[in-house]
Amino acid sequence: MTALNMRAVRRIVYPSDFSSASRRAFQTALGLAKTFHAQLLVVHVMSTLPVVPDGYVSPSIWDGLERGQRATAQRQLGRLVARAKAAGVRASGTLLDVGVTHEGIVRFARAKRAGLIVMGTHGRTGLTRALLGSVAARVIATARCPVMTVRA
């Protein structure tokens, strides 16, 4: 386990799925970035659209759905970055196209040489967690830098 030396934290990665759980973590990440004069790197991993089990969706409709999802994510990223900048924090937003969410977050943090990842967690337990998994738990298990989770 890596000890958290806040003087060494120059870049904080804040992965967001735009849920209420991640909104609370944003406040924490923003506060830490402001306090320690760190850059806030807001990242969203695009999720794949669910497969339609019965029927056929034409490629043009599918492409339209993906474009809409991407445009919505870009707007939401832009809002978060604007809020950070309004608070006096250096910030940027990145939209990632990778298949597995936790892998994308960890790769991004490594590539940016992040000193800390701050992310929300839904706090699921028991069977729900076993069935759905936990992105936060997987990030904690595989990240090379410290990870702070904020429970919704």
Q: Is the pLDDT of residue 119 over 90?
A: yes
* pLDDT tens-digit readout, 53-87: 556 667 777 677 788 889 999 999 999 999 999 99
Distance CA 97, CA 48 (A): 9
Q: Looking at residue 131, what is its pLDDT? A: 45
What are the backbone angles phi and psi of residue 86, rounded to the nearest 5°?
-65, -25
**pLDDT beyond 80 at 7:** no
For the whole model, what pTM was predicted?
A: 0.85
Question: What pLDDT is recorded for position 132?
Answer: 45
- The mean predicted confidence, pLDDT, of the chain is 86
Q: Give the torsion sign (CA, 42, 6, 120, 89).
A: negative
What domains are there in the chain, each with its CATH number? 6-151 (3.40.50.620)
What pLDDT does 1 receive?
41
Report the Cα 132 to chain-centroid distance in Å: 17
pLDDT at 90 over 80: yes
- Burial of 127 from C-beta contacts in 10 A (0-12 / 13-18 / 19+): exposed
Q: What is the pLDDT of residue 4?
A: 61
Q: What are the residue ranges of helices labelled H in the chain?
A: 20-35, 59-86, 101-111, 126-132, 135-142
| Sole residue written with tokens 């990030």 | 139
Asked if the model's pLDDT at residue 130 lies above 60, the reply is no
